[in-house]
Structure 1
Amino acid sequence: MYLTWLDSNSWLIEIGSQRILLDPWLVGPLTFANSDWFFKGSRSQERPIPENIDLILLSQGLEDHAHTPTLKQLDRKITVVASPNAAKVAQGLGYASVTSLAHGQTFTLNNQVEITAFPGSQIGPTLVENGYLLKELATGLTLYYEPHGYHSPQLKQFAPVDVIITPIIDLGLPLIGPILKGTNSALEVAKWLQPQVMLHTAAGGDVIFEGLLTKFLKTGGSFAEFRSSLEKNNLATRVIEPKAGDRFELQLEKRALAI
């Protein structure tokens, strides 16, 4: 299994001989509702569009997960699997094959990778987006992704899971609460799933963030503190801090197949 972190929530996952582009933001700025004054993410250099993509996987319909300028640059013939909210974005951009995956539903990619949707981040009072469990069918190796730290107890029945990509550091706003549920939520899901490896997502990488919102954002926790918490709970999980743009191989032990 190979991973490439592409800044923010964007990942290239190579699993089961398939190349999956996850929540890609690769070109142009990142804004919400075109409100640069409120929030803007930018990088000095755009990320190259990865080649030979087998699947685009979208966890949410918001711009930091279903980034319209990036999706416009990608080949509309690439298959898309997405939360119902993100599926509407892809369909509106003219993608030819879009599967809307509700919680509990599964999609199998070229008989190599099984993707199951779980309840993920809550956006507003009623909308719950997707987290995903990816399983390499040939080996049984598994990877779980949830970008805001909202983990469904339904995951427990699939333990152990080999790799978890989720926030490890907290990010929030005074009086409003968490945007990213890191330290405690990450430790809880680590206890549930007993992963071999955990990686932090939603970090800035090579990105510069500007706007009014950034003045109020507060972070909490650290990688060192999280590693210490894992040790105190007798978890042998390795915490990897990837460098944006670097492709690396995960050395994983094959364990008993998840149910």
Structure 2
Amino acid sequence: MELTYLDSNSWLLDFNGCRILLDPWLVGPLVFGNSPWLFKGTRPIERPIPGDIDVILLSQGLPDHAHPPTLEQLGRSLPVVGSAGAAKVARGLGYEEVVALSQRQIYTWGDRLQIQAFPGSPIGPTTVENAYVISDLQAGTSLYYEPHGNHSSLLKDLPPIDVAIAPLVNLELPLVGPFIKGKESALELVQWIKPQYILPTAAGGDVNFEGLLVSILKASGTPEEFQDCLRERQLQTDVINPVPWTATTLSLARSMESKSS
């Protein structure tokens, strides 16, 4: 399994040649609600959009996960799998094959990949976006992804998952509290799914942020502190802090047969 962190929430996942572009924000600014004074993200260095993509996977319909300017640059024949909100964005941009996954539903790409949706982050009072477990059906390996630290207790019923991508730090707003929950929720996640590796997402990369929200955001925790926390509890998961835009190859010890035995 090869993972490349593309800054912010964006990842390129390579499962033995099957390539998933996950929550891509790769071109142009990141703005919510046409309000750059409130929040604006920019990239100091222009980066190429990865090629040879097989599937686009979107966890949420918000611009930092389903980023319209980036999606406009990709081929409309690529299959898009996402939450209901993300699927609506993709359809609006003219994508031809869009699959909206409800929680516990499964999408299968040929005989190579299985993507199962789980409850993820609540957005507003009625909407819950998606987390995913991605399984390589040939190698027998698996990966879990949720970008805001909202992990469903349904995961406790699954066999161990090899790799997790989740926040390891908290980002908090005054009077609101953490909207990205890393520290405690990531520890609980590790205890539930027992991954060999966990990689941080959501709070890093080569990006610049400005605006009112950024000026009052408070971050707490580091990947190094989280690794120390795991060791104190004698948990064997290794924290990998990826170098943005540099592929990380993971050698995984388990197989699907050993998980089911």
Give the TM-score taking structure 2 as reference length.
0.97
- Percent identity over the alignment? 55
Q: Which residue of 1 aligns with 2:78?
A: 78
Which position in structure 1 is the counterpart of 2:190? 190
Q: Cα distance 1:68–1:258, how it changes in 2: closer, same or farther (>3 A)?
A: farther
| Shift, 1:152, TM fit | 0.4
1:18 corresponds to which letter in structure 2?
C
Q: Which residue of 2 aligns with 1:248?
A: 248
| Cα shift at 1:224 | 2.2
In the alignment, what sits opposite 1:257? 259
Shift of 1:16: 4.1
Aligned equivalents of 2:27, 2:34: Cα separation in 1: 15
Check whether the contact 1:6–1:47 (CA below 8 A) recurs between aligned residues: no
**Equivalences for residues 208-227 of structure 1 within 5 A:** 208-227=208-227
Cα shift readout 1:184-238 (whole Å, capped 9, x = no counterpart) = 0000000001110000001231100000100110011122221111112211111
Once residues 213 and 142 of structure 1 are traced to their aligned partners in structure 2, the CA distance between those partners, rounded to angstroms, is 35
**C-alpha contact (below 8 Å) 1:141/1:257 kept by paired residues:** no
- Say if 2:31 is the partner of 1:28: no
For structure 2, the 5+ residue unaligned runs are: none
Change (3 A) 1:249 1:207: same
Alignment match, 1:199? 199
Distance across 2 between alignment mates of 1:13 and 1:257 = 22
* TM-superposed deviation, 1:258: 5.3
Gaps of 5+ in 1: none
Tell me, in whole angstroms, the C-alpha distance in 1 between the residues paired with 2:173 and 2:156: 30
CA apart distance, 1:110: 1.9
The amino acid that maps onto 1:191 is Q
Q: Deviations over 1:122-145 (max 9, x none)?
A: 111111000000011112211000
| Equivalent position of 1:147 in the other structure | 147
Question: Alignment RMSD, CA only?
Answer: 1.1
TM normalised by structure 1 equals 0.98
Give yes or no for contact 1:173–1:218 (8 Å, CA) kept in 2.
yes
SS of the counterpart of 2:157?
A: helix
Equivalent AA in structure 2 for residue 54 of structure 1: D
CA contact (8 A) 1:17 1:112 kept: no
Whole-angstrom CA distance in 2 between matches of 1:183 and 1:10: 20
